[in-house]
Amino acid sequence: MTDTAKSARIQPFSAPKGVPDYVPPTSADFHAVRSTFETVIHNSGYGHIELPVFEETGLFARGVGESTDVVSKEMYTFNDRGGRSVTLRPEGTAGVMRAVIEHNLDRGQLPVKLTYSGPFFRYERPQAGRYRQLQQVGVEAIGVDDPALDAEVVCLADRCYRALGLTGYRLELTSLGDSTCRPEYRRKLQDFLFALPLDEETRRRAEINPLRVLDDKRPEIREMLDDAPLMPDHLSPEAREHFETVTGLLDDMGVEYTLNPRLVRGLDYYTKTCFEFVHDGLGAQSGIGGGGRYDGLMAQLGGQDLSGIGFGLGVDRTLLALEAEGVSATEGRRVDIYGVPMGHEAKRRLAVVIDRLRRAGVSADMAYGDRGLKGAMKGADRAGARYALVMGEQELADGTVVLRDLTTRDQHEVSLEDVVLTVRSALGVVPR
Ligand code: HAM
């Protein structure tokens, strides 16, 4: 038996449970979602921050909160070979804070506006839209407690989804109060909860973080919570004014939202403005993004007492939301131009034309290997190209190429000198 035959019997590997792969053609949409988010965010003055994928475990325990599911049940934590406890980042905000403090970014111009994207890790029970490796694009605007900044951040998230053509989502918004009113509200809520016949675990949760109980999905608990005191009814005048300025600005910007006084997020650091984008086409895992303000986080991580606000947009779930709406971020297009050479010499010549197009900013690919006209045209279709550039013996002799519109099937000859200009104008690319 040959080595290849032997290896054919080896069981192939699969990706770890709950970890999605993105391969063509879906990967083009994945990439388009992420880069659309990044472009919209960069246009609003956010600088890029590249963070480590793992950090000291204590950072998340202290930053995200010991009582959260994320910290208590879902972290990928292990000792490295030096015996230090490290954790694969479950979210981005704590790491950004750590880096801002470590590099003294909070001692310069404020607010510090940063954006990041990449994978995060949560050991959750996998299901549709809930993964153990999830992808986010996020922003954090740190150091200024200004409701206008809250409005910018919320509006920015909305613009990210709109830029993709997504429409079937709603923005839920509330205020979680601040140090002038949250402690008193917390006591009121606890008094209410402790008077209920709660099971042991829920009672414990009410002791550690009573707000989380409001998020309980069990119908028998929900029923008991109908008359629970709600934060928006107990805001101090300062916190109320802050929130009303935010909603007023969102109204002026034309950002639609629904007030949800029971909105609770899965991370402990939130104060004041808090929001979530929910898509109804996704089933149980309907949160496509969310965020909020966090007053005490920086001080809690050993930095100055500065506030911040940010969001994390879920790339995986946004992709599912686009699918649910039947919208494609790329319309299946991998490239605009596809080269179809007939014969060896034409291939050499066309490869140079394709390179010239790419250098001129046109996305282009071509058929490789010895494929006939039919096979190569199929390649153009699969790439979702708008035009094919066909070169056979005649065109080779004439120093031309045939530009074929793959939708209308119209075609005409173009000289090799003019091909870049002609293609760019056919695609509507503005000349440089
Ligand atoms: P988060 O709500 O935990 O917030 O996550 C943000 C988004 O990531 C969610 O709305 C969801 O779309 C996506 N996501 C979360 N977990 C999963 C999962 N298991 N599978 C697929 N997608 C998931 C944060 O992480 C905060 N750091 C956001 C933030 C930034 N707040 C302030 N600044």
Q: What is the pLDDT of residues 299-337, one digit of tens each?
A: 999 999 999 999 999 999 999 999 999 988 887 778 999
Contact criterion met (CB below 8 Å) for 334 and 365: yes
Percentage above 90 pLDDT, the chain: 85
Largest alpha-carbon pair distance within the chain? 91
State mean pLDDT over 15-22: 97
Contact criterion met (CB below 8 Å) for 229 and 188: yes
pLDDT at 181: 96
Q: How far is the CA of 290 from the centre of ligand 1 (A)?
A: 6
Side chain identity, residue 259: L
Q: Is 93 in the pocket of ligand 1 (CB under 6 A)?
A: yes
pLDDT at 3: 61
Q: Is 429 helix (H, G, I), strand (E, B) or coil?
A: coil
Q: Is 311 in the pocket of ligand 1 (CB under 6 A)?
A: yes
User: In this structure, which residue's CA is closest to atom 6 in ligand 1?
Assistant: 312
Q: Is the pLDDT of residue 17 over 80?
A: yes
Alpha-carbon distances of 289 from 131, 134, 139, 142, 316, rounded to whole Å: 14, 12, 12, 19, 10
Sheet holding 411-415, edge to edge: 364-366, 337-341, 387-391, 400-405, 411-415
State mean pLDDT over 51-56: 98
Supply the mean pLDDT for the chain: 93
Q: What is the CATH number of domain 337-427?
A: 3.40.50.800
Q: Is 131 in the pocket of ligand 1 (CB under 6 A)?
A: yes
Q: Is 362 helix (H, G, I), strand (E, B) or coil?
A: coil
DSSP codes, 151-200: HHHHHHHHHHHHHTT--SEEEEEEE---TTTHHHHHHHHHHHHHTS---H
pLDDT at 108: 93
Q: Say how far apart CA 251 and CA 151 lie, in whole Å.
A: 10
The total of other beta-carbon atoms located within 10 Å of residue 199's CB is 11
User: Under CATH, to which class is 26-181+235-325 assigned?
Assistant: alpha beta
- CA 330: distance to chain centroid? 16
* Nearest Cα to Cα of residue 414 among 233, 406, 41, 425: 425
Quick: pLDDT tens for 270-294: 999 999 999 999 988 899 999 999 9
Quick: pLDDT tens for 129-171: 999 999 999 999 999 999 999 999 999 999 999 999 999 999 9
Q: How far is the CA of 267 from the centre of ligand 1 (A)?
A: 9
Q: Is 224 helix (H, G, I), strand (E, B) or coil?
A: helix
- CA 197: distance to chain centroid? 40
**For residue 95, what are the contacts with CB-CB under 8 A and spacing of at least 6?**
51, 52, 55, 59, 89
Q: Say how far apart CA 145 and CA 308 lie, in whole Å.
A: 7
Of ligand 1's atoms, which has the minimum distance to the CA of residue 92? Answer: 27
Of 70, 135, 136, the residue with max ligand 1 atoms within 8 A of its CB, to mutate for a pocket test, comes to 136
Q: Is 365 in the pocket of ligand 1 (CB under 6 A)?
A: no
26-181+235-325 and 337-427, same CATH topology: no
Q: Is the pLDDT of residue 58 over 50?
A: yes
User: In this structure, which residue's CA is closest to atom 3 in ligand 1?
Assistant: 266
Of 91, 124, 277, the residue with max ligand 1 atoms within 8 A of its CB, to mutate for a pocket test, comes to 91
Cis peptide before 25 (omega within 30 of 0): yes
Alpha-carbon distances of 130 from 120, 283, 314, rounded to whole Å: 12, 11, 10
Contact criterion met (CB below 8 Å) for 155 and 148: no
Is 223 annotated to bind a ligand? Reply is: no
pLDDT at 261: 93
Of ligand 1's atoms, which has the minimum distance to the CA of residue 135? Answer: 22
Q: How far is the CA of 320 from the centre of ligand 1 (A)?
A: 15
pLDDT at 428: 83
Contact criterion met (CB below 8 Å) for 65 and 269: yes
Q: How far is the CA of 243 from the centre of ligand 1 (A)?
A: 23
DSSP 142: E
Contact criterion met (CB below 8 Å) for 235 and 177: yes
- Residue 432's pLDDT band (cuts 50, 70, 90): very low
Q: Is 12 exposed, middle or buried (0-12, 13-18, 19+ CB in 10 A)?
A: exposed
* Domain definitions of the chain by residue range: 26-181+235-325, 337-427
Of 135, 267, 268, 298, the residue with max ligand 1 atoms within 8 A of its CB, to mutate for a pocket test, comes to 267
Of ligand 1's atoms, which has the minimum distance to the CA of residue 124? Answer: 19
Contact criterion met (CB below 8 Å) for 314 and 287: yes
Tokens representing 424 are 């760019």
State mean pLDDT over 73-87: 97
Of 96, 215, 317, 322, the residue with max ligand 1 atoms within 8 A of its CB, to mutate for a pocket test, comes to 317
Q: Is 95 in the pocket of ligand 1 (CB under 6 A)?
A: no
In the chain, DSSP finds a helix count (H) and a strand count (E) of 17, 16
φ/ψ of 66, rounded to 5, equals -60, -30
369 vs 49, higher pLDDT: 49
